[in-house]
Structure 1
Amino acid sequence: MDVELRHLRAFTSVARHRSFSRAAEELLITQPALSRTIAQLEGNLNVRLLDRSSRHVELTDTGAEFLAQAERVLATLDQALAVVSHRVTLRLGFSWLLPDPWAQQTVSRFEEKTGASVTLTRTDDPLHALRQRTIDIALVRGDIDAPRGARTVRLYDEPRIAVCSEHCDLTRLGHLDWTDVQYWPLVVNTVSGTTGPWSWPEGRRPAQIIETANYDEWLETVAANRGIGIVPEVAQRRTQHPAVRFIPLTGAPPSPVSLVHFPDAQRTLIRRFLEAAVQAGSQE
């Protein structure tokens, strides 16, 4: 019988949740794909494991017996993996300021459930590092152009805030509207920034753009009063610089936070990390 671990994990998830939709969310796959996997399992075994209706999912008598054995097999496998998991490391790349408390919750939950560890790698261009396979997962902000063949999981959206020098006239206004950013010189991080001239349609873009290559250069350029900046609000909580001020920004579109990975790299470990990441992201 051609039964694979993915069949067992899919079946036990559906049986536990009594729902294809909730199981699909847990497994990070589509509901049609999950239905096909269960159908393959039942076809390979030549038995009916689940009774389905439009409102609920129930185990057949055979399905209940099979569930007990399938859970025992998966538990034994997890125990075997735990023997070596403490030597396994997942590399998470980021450009600046990991989101909080998402990062702490995700890493803690992942390490607790798998026994593996997470290595945090700060790099100016996480997507380049992902292409070079020096990291396993890239955390990125803003609209991105993912590498060919990579998969993107959108976690949640961060609100934006304006940043300026303590000597900037913007400090006296008290707030800034998204449509008025065009009238100010805008400092842009061209490598990993979330806001740039591409964020506005033609005719509404800032007339003056000051380019920098990383977050530190961006911050010091704003502090030197060369222009204003636009960043996710996490920067206000995490950035300590005596020469900058954070200004409320109204009407700004949110900045998406996503994870990018290649499906052929550490599949099981990445799947478990994504499960923890999505769960933590849903609480943001």
Structure 2
Amino acid sequence: MTSGDIELRHLRAFTTVARHRSFSRAAEELLITQPALSRTIAQLENRLNVVLLDRSSRHVELTDTGAQFLEHAERVLAALDDALAVVSHRATLRLGFGWLLPDPWAQRTVGRFEEDTGASVALTRTDDPVRALRRRTVDVALVRGDARVPADMRTVRLYDEPRIAVCSERSELTRVPHLDWADVPHWPLVVNTVSGTTGPWSWPDGRRPTEIIETANYDEWLETVAANRGIGIVPEVARRRTRHPALRFVSLTDAPPSPVSLVHLPDTQRTLIRRFLDAALRSTGE
């Protein structure tokens, strides 16, 4: 065995399990599945040819060898963190988003991350955040709605946003106090096919809108609704942040919430992304 057989992911996995005395809580912190964490620990033990953790009791405990190894592993990781801190002021994390970063979550997350790490966040508006992630022009993508994320990417769900209906000032929808989710398919629906949160996919077969007007980005979607070609459904944040004289917002009842998630590739800027995800999750509860 050589030191090259042991990777940082092995050390981080082991020290996190040792700290929590729990595989489930460690997996939550590391943002991986529990089976994946178990495989990583097993790899480490196999490569060292020792048993580091005793799994026979109700709680995970360190063996004598594991306790000794933990001291050295923690020193290695601490030294690495110190080295990264020296250059962190030069590091930049690129956050891609399709439209309207959610507030106040975005401001809290960016501020907390930059204060904790000394790195900076570059905000990149792109019509297709997942595609930008694939092209590696961003490091993390904020994704709204039930978008399909490729299997090789990692998704961290943050929270849910309420939905609201939006229409032209000339629309008949302005005459009603609210719109029920079940009645939305009776209206022509304007859909942003690239980064929209609501579309025909949001309803089961047989209940989907019969008339769909497709657009390719948020600006096209906005102006198409304003031109009274149909109505739109968006997260409620749009009512606070959109200023368009030809638009009106209508309350939506019984609508399923719209999820907000962060997506990233597992092999890019691991340390910075891990710190950003930590800041993002902490900001969701405030």
TM-score by length of 1: 0.88
Specify which of 238, 242, 259 is matched with residue 241 of structure 2.
238
**54 and 157 in structure 1: CA distance in 2 versus 1, 3 angstrom threshold:** farther
Structure 1 residue 46: Cα displacement: 4.0
Determine whether 1:106 maps to 2:109: yes
> 2:38 matched to which residue of 1?
35
Contact 1:184 1:206 survives alignment (8 Å): yes
Specify which of 188, 193, 213 is matched with residue 191 of structure 2.
188
Structure 1 residue 202: Cα displacement: 4.1
Paired with 2:48 and 2:200, the residues of 1 have a C-alpha distance of 57
Determine whether 1:228 maps to 2:239: no
Structure 1 residue 231: Cα displacement: 0.4
Paired with 1:280 and 1:181, the residues of 2 have a C-alpha distance of 33
**29 and 178 in structure 1: CA distance in 2 versus 1, 3 angstrom threshold:** same
> 1:76 matched to which residue of 2?
79
What are the residue-to-residue correspondences of 1:1-284 with 2, within 5 Å?
Answer: 1=1, 2-53=5-56, 55-147=58-150, 149-281=152-284, 283=285
Q: Which has the higher mean CA deviation after the structures are superposed, 103-112 or 89-98?
A: 103-112
Contact 1:185 1:208 survives alignment (8 Å): yes
Structure 1 residue 147: Cα displacement: 4.5
Q: Deviations over 1:37-56 (max 9, x none)?
A: 22333343344433334532
Paired with 2:205 and 2:45, the residues of 1 have a C-alpha distance of 55
Q: Secondary structure at the match of 1:86?
A: helix
Paired with 1:202 and 1:66, the residues of 2 have a C-alpha distance of 56
Structure 1 residue 199: Cα displacement: 2.3
Q: Secondary structure at the match of 2:76?
A: helix
Structure 1 residue 124: Cα displacement: 1.5
Gapped runs of 5+ residues in structure 2? none
Letter aligned with residue 267 of structure 1 = R
- Aligned residue pairs, count: 283
Identity of aligned residues (%): 82
Structure 1 residue 173: Cα displacement: 1.6
**42 and 211 in structure 1: CA distance in 2 versus 1, 3 angstrom threshold:** closer
Letter aligned with residue 144 of structure 2 = R
Contact 1:27 1:275 survives alignment (8 Å): no
Letter aligned with residue 273 of structure 1 = F
Structure 1 residue 61: Cα displacement: 3.9
Paired with 1:229 and 1:55, the residues of 2 have a C-alpha distance of 52
CA RMSD of aligned residues (A): 2.4
**203 and 273 in structure 1: CA distance in 2 versus 1, 3 angstrom threshold:** same
**272 and 160 in structure 1: CA distance in 2 versus 1, 3 angstrom threshold:** same
